[in-house]
Amino acid sequence: MPEPLLTALGVEAGYRSKQILFGVDFTISRGEVVALLGANGSGKSTALNTVSGFVRPSAGSIRFDGEEIAGSPPHRIFRRGIIQVSQARDLFPDMSVEDNLRLGAWVRGAEIEADLDAVCTSFPRLGERRRQPVRLMSGGEQQMVAIGRALMGRPKLLLLDEPSGGLAPVFVGEIAAIMTALKGRGITMLIIEQNIKLALTVADRFLILRDGKVAQGHDVRTGAATEEDIVRSIYL
């Protein structure tokens, strides 16, 4: 059986004197979409930030594509192919859509034009507004820029932290369609999402974090867990 693309074992991490993760274990296979669910403060964002290197684990192992990456700096993890879209999006508001997208491919330096055209084809709204400053776009459009920029880096593993957070319902539907399309292309994803219905639509599996530990995990494809079951597992 092939090794999972990502394996986290016994991961402990936190901020200064406050520990957030207490022995987190999970795996992600190539081409799989896994949703990380849980109440506020359960450790979801810390888990993503630990995988991407923005939080250094105090214990445990994180293996990615056959290599140990626990404790590696973010830029090295990025070069390995793990690319994160944070809740804040981290865009450059006074720069154009196109310039923000190009920044996603800065470490490659080749074949950027083809990828830029592909992103603009996948996100027609961005193609129409390539020269527009990002600050003039809506929140949903900015989220498209952030995801498009991540795709410019050709991720092996795409980390999405609350991709639908704070968006109007019409954009939530568009983000769901984008994530479904990415899944269809075989892009491996680890997502945090408070919108349970969206998570169930996109994910193959979900993990529930509670008090910094993986409390439960379910395969969405079996249909054994309903949205109500998941909400009950998270909050009760």
pLDDT tens digits for the chain (236 residues)?
Answer: 567 999 999 999 999 889 999 999 999 999 999 999 888 888 999 999 999 999 999 999 999 999 999 999 999 999 999 999 988 888 999 999 999 999 988 776 667 888 898 898 888 889 899 999 999 998 888 999 999 999 999 999 999 998 888 888 888 888 888 899 999 999 999 999 888 888 888 999 889 898 899 877 766 766 656 677 677 777 65
Compute CA distances 109 → 22, 71, 103, 146, 184, whole Å: 39, 27, 10, 19, 27
Instruction: Clarify whether residues 161 and 219 are in a common domain.
Output: yes
Instruction: Clarify whether residues 164 and 70 are in a common domain.
Output: yes
| Residue 166: per-residue pLDDT | 80
Q: Give the number of domains in the chain.
A: 2
Partners of 65 in beta bridges: none
Strands (E), 6-79: 6-15, 18-28, 33-37, 59-64, 67-68
What is the spatial distance between Cα 25 and Cα 22, in angstroms, rounded to a whole number? Answer: 9
| Residue 62: per-residue pLDDT | 97
| Residue 32: per-residue pLDDT | 95
Instruction: Clarify whether residues 110 and 192 are in a common domain.
Output: no
- Check if the beta carbon of residue 8 is closer than 8 Å to that of residue 61: yes
Residue 146 domain boundaries:
85-153
DSSP element (H, E) containing 161: strand 157-161
| Residue 225: per-residue pLDDT | 64
Instruction: Clarify whether residues 30 and 95 are in a common domain.
Output: no
Largest CA distance in the chain: 50
| Residue 54: per-residue pLDDT | 95
| Residue 92: per-residue pLDDT | 93
Instruction: Clarify whether residues 70 and 184 are in a common domain.
Output: yes
Instruction: Clarify whether residues 163 and 74 are in a common domain.
Output: yes
Examine the fold and report which residue of 133, 153, 173 is the final residue of a domain before the chain moves on: 153
Q: Name the amino acid, one letter, at 234.
A: I
| Residue 111: per-residue pLDDT | 72
